[in-house]
Structure formats: structure tokens, C-alpha cells
A and B are shown apart, each in its own frame.
Chain A
């Protein structure tokens, strides 16, 4: 026993370092195998999509280019995801389709988080009439059936160019999605407001704006990040719903939802041209799953009560078990 004495959880004196909350969160996240799997999956998909987008932009790839001789080819070495009924290379379309999802996801989440955080913080901090007004607004927006609303708004902007429609979709998603976050932030801030450190900031005469920005918001930020991850996944899923119904960005720009919708119109194309919908479907599924895994990992990481084992500890445990077994075996041999 050359190592230092360890306590129940397997920590020794050397482990007694003081970590900032952020460092703790990072360590916890890194030691979560599922979360790390999600993280790598997410990074790979984002990298592929971004590289494809840069490639298509630089080379001026024409998405409306059709070639009748290459119609409906099944996956092969030259066309790994096959070609569609206009003879277009599906792999490029699938990877490029993620670009719309990424844009929608990031921008609408950014919008939702900004509005939600601001509204929630204001409602929670000031309370009273301001709170009542904001919460009524939240209730009204919350009562809007999202898909149905997106339907009509999309119909209003039906004749606009694709880029404009993209921003409309982002705006709808961002605008609909801030309410949940606002409720959450408001609840947290209302309880934080009553605590001593805010009394101290008041006694020190710190401006209200700084009380909120510097003292209250940092305390809810971890929770906001977790919610934002889920909002992100939700936004991408919703965009795919819309493009599946043909309400998002339309041809020739590919989106995952629209690519899947193409094949689903009748059972013949569903069966014969499976590569057209299976690949974008799988991409969409993996992308959303990776975000959800990250969100789940973050949620566990910010929970101070959650137990975790680091990679090092797992390895040590495995080694210890192995050694134990070995010792047992040799002991058995000796007995024999």
C-alpha cells in the first residue's frame, strides 16, 4: 500500500484540489461516456456539413443541375448515397441539407435564449405588474399551436425567395421557443432574488441592471445552457417537420425533411428508392440524438448531487478487479 489512504469514494489527499464550478462541470462531462459519444458524433456531423457547405460554395456547386442518364442510381462507390430521380448526387444533397438545419438550430436557439433569458430575468427580478404582463404574453404565445402557426406564416411568405423564408422559419422557431426558458429563468431568479447576496448587492448600491446581469444571470446560466441544448434539438426537429411538409426552404436547396418527403409520397418509391430517404433520415436522427446526449450529459454535469466516475477511476477499478481475479486464481492454484 504505497498509495495514500483513500476514503469511501476512492479519493486520496492528492485529489484534494479546489476546482471552479466550470472545471467541475467539464470534468464530469468528460467522464460521461455517453455524453462524450454524443459530443464526438455532433462534432463529426457538424464538420462534414460545414466542409460540404464550404466546398459547394467555393466550387459553385449547382444544386439544380440534372442529368437524366444518372437517374435513380442505387448507392455505389462513385455515388455512395445513390442519385435521385433527376440524376443528382444524393450524398452532396444530404450533407448540404444539414447546413439549413445547423443555421436554423443555432440562430433560432440564440434568439430564443436571448429573449427568454431577458424576459425571464426581468419578470423574476421586478415581479408585480411587469411580471404579470410578461407572464400573460408568455401564456398567449405558449397557447399557440406551433405547427399550425408555422403553416399560416409560411403561407403568407409563400412567394418570397428561399433565403427570406429561411429567416422567417428561424424567427418563428425562436419566437415560439423562448417561453419555456422564460418561465424557468423567472422561477429561478425569483428564488435567488430573496437570497442574502442580492440583499448585499442592494446594500452596496449596485445598479439594478448590474444586479441582474452580473449577479443573477450567472447563477442561472448553467441551467440555461442545458435548456438551450434541448431547444437546439427541438428547433432542428421542428425545421425538419416543416420542410417535410414543404413549408420550409424549398427546391433546389436541399433540407433533410424535404429529402425524406420526396420518397414518402407512394409505396413504390419508398421501397425501390430507399436510399433517397434512409440516408437523410439517419443523418437527422443521429444529429438530434447527439445533441440530446450532450444535453443529458450537461444536465448531469451541472447537478452537484450527481455521482460520477472519471475514466482514470474506471481504469483503476478495472485493473483492481483484474488483479483481484489473478490473485484469486493463483491462490486457487496454490491450494490445488
Chain B
């Protein structure tokens, strides 16, 4: 009630202003870091052995040509892809195209501009990861809280052991075991891909295994995190006060304790954002699920530089945004930090 009065005197925009200011400041500070990352990516990409123009030549097309025609063709391709310029020039052109025009170059593997293909891949990765994320949270929160409340009891000890087992399981090993069980022995799920060309198997079945692997490999660390945060909070004085007031234990745990335990959990969500995609490289590779990780792997195999540098920049940007999310998230959930940073 009292909280409402304080906020009620301000408009929504006035309340949000400090957040927007802070967010703006953080986004500005992102620019130099992003520039450094782009330089490193550019250098590494150009250190890669092999000539990208020669790699994309269609042997059928060039076979009939004379040497002069072929050289002519290579030169035009080189000019088309921009490889006839100096490194410095190319870097700035790349920078301009990427950040100002939103053009990410031309993929030699797909023979299409990267813009046209990358959206679908990001979307698919996003779908798998968001579903996995929601499931992982829904499962880990009650388990983490219960383990913290029953600290040192049998349930807690069992959870501790199981989570250590969980964080030690390599995702590809889990994936293979799941394939063994559900695809080969029970025969209820498809092996890989994202849809059935014959349209017999429903699309959601292709999501089941990748999502399960993502949930299984992230569950353990989530539970450990939530448990540790909860144990910390349960020892706090205000929890004792709440209990001393004679509040219902459920209200003490879920209203007073868990809300505060959420603060460190915000970090976890922030770290998740980049992991969302890069961690999926392995999983997508095993299940041949065409997401960002799969695209990166393909681009590596085909030395598709435009796709490679776009994907890398995308992963870097995601990590930076994750860090910003952590800071802003702290500000939203923790009034102490809010006061400190807003002023």
C-alpha cells in the first residue's frame, strides 16, 4: 500500500526514466568493446588459410572456360566480394555495411546475402533455447528451494550429489545416451533434423531431444545456484523476523526469502543469454538441428567467411547484451543497487 503511494505520485515515464538513462549509458559503453571484438574477428577470419574466391568457384562453370576467361571471372568475383581492396579498407567497409546498412555480406555456401538466411537460423535457435530455458527454470526453482529449506537432510544431500553428477555430464554424451534410448530402442522420436520431409512425424517431436539435452545439462547448475542463494537468504535476519512475527512458513519462504534469492539468479539469466546460442553448437550439431550453432559449424567447414564473421559478431554482441542484462536486472530487483546507481 505504502509503496503504491510513492509510485502513484509519478507518471510511468518518470518512474522508468532512471532505468532508461542507465540502459542508454550502458549501451553506449558497449560500442568500444564491440569495435575491439570486430577487429579481432576480422583479423582471425583473414588469417584463415585458403582463398575464399577460389573456394566458391563452381567447377562445372569454370571447366569450359579458357585460362583467360577463368582469370577474368575470378577477378570479377573478387571485385564483387570486395577482396580486391586492402585489409584496412575492407575492415571499414565491413563495419559500415554491418552496423550502418545492416548488410552482412554474401554467403558463398548458400549463394545468397547473409541477411536472407540468418534470420531463420536465429529464430530456430531461439525457439529451442527458450523452451529449454522455461522448462529448466520451472523444474529447478522448486527443487532448489526445497533443497535449501531442507539443508543437510536426505533430500538436500541427494540433490547435491545428483547436481555434481549433472554438471559433470558432457552434453554430447547425454545426447548420445538419449538417442540410444528414445530413437534406437524405444523408436518414439526421430534421430535428427527439424522436420519430416514426408510430413509423417510432427515437427514438435524434432524439438524434444535437443530441448531435453539443454534442460538436462543446465538443470544442475541452476539448482546449485538457486539452492546457494536460498541458503544465504534463509539465514538473513529479516527471515527470522518474518518467522518471529508468526508468519506462515510458506509465505516466509516464497514471499520473503525467494524474492531476495532471485537477485543472484538474475546473473544466471544474463549468463544464459550468450550460452543460449553458443552452448547449442554441440547439441545442434548432433541433432543436425539448423540453428545458429549448426550454421557456424557449416560455415567453418565451407570456409564461408561472411557467415562466419556475422555469426561470431552475433555471439559477441549477445554476450555483451547479457552482461548489460545482468546489471540492469540487478537494478530492477535490488533497491540498494538501484539507489546507488541512479544517483
Tell me if chain B binds chain A: yes
Residue pair A139, B323 in contact (C-beta under 8 Å): yes
Q: How far is the CA of A151 from the CA of B316 in the complex (A)?
A: 14
Q: Which residue of B lies closest to A265 (CB)?
A: B286
Query: Are A292 and B168 interface neighbours, CB within 8 A?
Result: yes
**B262: CB under 8 A from chain A?**
no
When C-beta atoms are compared, the residue in chain B nearest to A233 turns out to be: B168
CB closest residue in chain A, given B286: A264
- Chain A residue at minimum C-beta to C-beta distance from B274: A145
Give me 10 other A-B pairs in contact (C-beta within 8 A), A151-B296, A156-B44 excluded.
Answer: A34-B164, A144-B40, A146-B278, A148-B281, A149-B44, A233-B168, A264-B172, A284-B173, A288-B168, A291-B168
How far in angstroms is the closest Cβ of chain A from B41? 8
- Chain A 256-284, CB-CB to B under 8 Å as 1, else 0, gives 01001101100100110010010001001
Contact A284 B319 (CB under 8 A): no
Judge whether B170 and A281 touch: CB under 8 Å. Answer: yes
| Interface flag for B179 (CB, 8 Å) | yes
Cα(A149)–Cα(B296), bound, Å: 11
Please report the C-alpha to C-alpha distance between residue A250 and residue B278 in the assembled complex, in whole angstroms. Answer: 23
B36 contacts A152, C-beta separation under 8 Å: no
Report A123-162 CB contacts with B as 1/0, cut-off 8 Å: 0000000000000100110111111110111011011000
Provide 5 A-B residue pairs closer than 8 Å at the C-beta atoms, listed in order of the A residue. A34-B161, A34-B164, A143-B37, A152-B300, A155-B303
Contacts A143-B319, A148-B311, A151-B296 given; does A281 touch B45 at CB 8 Å: no
Number of interface residues of A (CB under 8 A): 45
Least CB distance from A121 to B in Å reads: 23
* Cβ-defined partner of A244 (8 Å) among B169, B172, B300, B323: B172
In chain A, what residue has the closest Cβ to B299? A151
Check: B282 CB closer than 8 A to any chain A CB: yes
Complexed CA–CA distance, A277 and B174 (Å): 12
Please, which residues of chain B bring their CB within 8 A of the CB of A146?
A: 278
Name A136's closest neighbour in chain B (CB-CB): B33
Q: How far is the CA of A159 from the CA of B49 in the complex (A)?
A: 8
Interface of A (DSSP majority class): helix
Q: With A140-B36, A152-B308, A267-B179 in contact, is A237–B319 under 8 Å at CB?
A: no
How many A-B contacts at CB < 8 Å in the complex?
Answer: 121
Return A131 CB to nearest CB of chain B, in Å. Answer: 16
CB distance from B264 to the nearest CB of A (A): 15
Q: Count contacts on B: residues with CB < 8 A to the other chain.
A: 49
Does B312 have its Cβ within 8 Å of any Cβ on chain A? yes
Residues of B273-291 whose CB lies within 8 A of A: 274, 277-279, 281-282, 285-286
Set of chain B residues within 8 Å of A158, measured between Cβ atoms: 49
What sequence of 0s and 1s flags, for each residue 17-58 of chain B, a beta carbon within 8 Å of any chain A beta carbon? 000000000000000010011001100110111000000000
Query: Inside 8 A of A277's CB, which chain B residues have their CB?
Result: 176
Could you say which residues of chain A place their CB within 8 Å of the CB of B169? 285
Is A241 engaged at the interface, CB distance under 8 Å to the other chain? Answer: yes
A25 at interface by CB-CB < 8 Å: no
Provide the bound-state CA to CA distance between A145 and B292, in Å: 13
Given the complex of chains A and B, what is the CA–CA distance between A270 and B175 in angstroms?
A: 12
- CB-nearest residue of chain A to B317: A143
Q: Are B308 and A270 in contact (CB under 8 A)?
A: no
Residues of B near A274 (CB, < 8 A) are 180
- The answer to the question of B315 belonging to the interface, with a C-beta cut-off of 8 Å to chain A, is yes
Q: Does residue A293 face the partner (Cβ distance < 8 Å to B)?
A: yes
B15 adjacent to chain A (CB < 8 Å): no
CB distance from B138 to the nearest CB of A (A): 25
The answer to whether B323 touches A293, judged by C-beta atoms less than 8 angstroms apart, is no
Chain A residues lying within 8 Å of B160, measured Cβ to Cβ, are: 296
Are A270 and B179 in contact, CB atoms less than 8 angstroms apart?
yes
Q: In the bound complex, do residue B172 and residue A241 qualify as a contact, i.e. CB atoms below 8 Å apart?
A: yes
Q: How far is the CA of A147 from the CA of B278 in the complex (A)?
A: 7
Q: In the complex, are the beta carbons of A147 and B37 less than 8 A apart? A: no
Would you call A271 and B319 a contact (CB within 8 A)? no
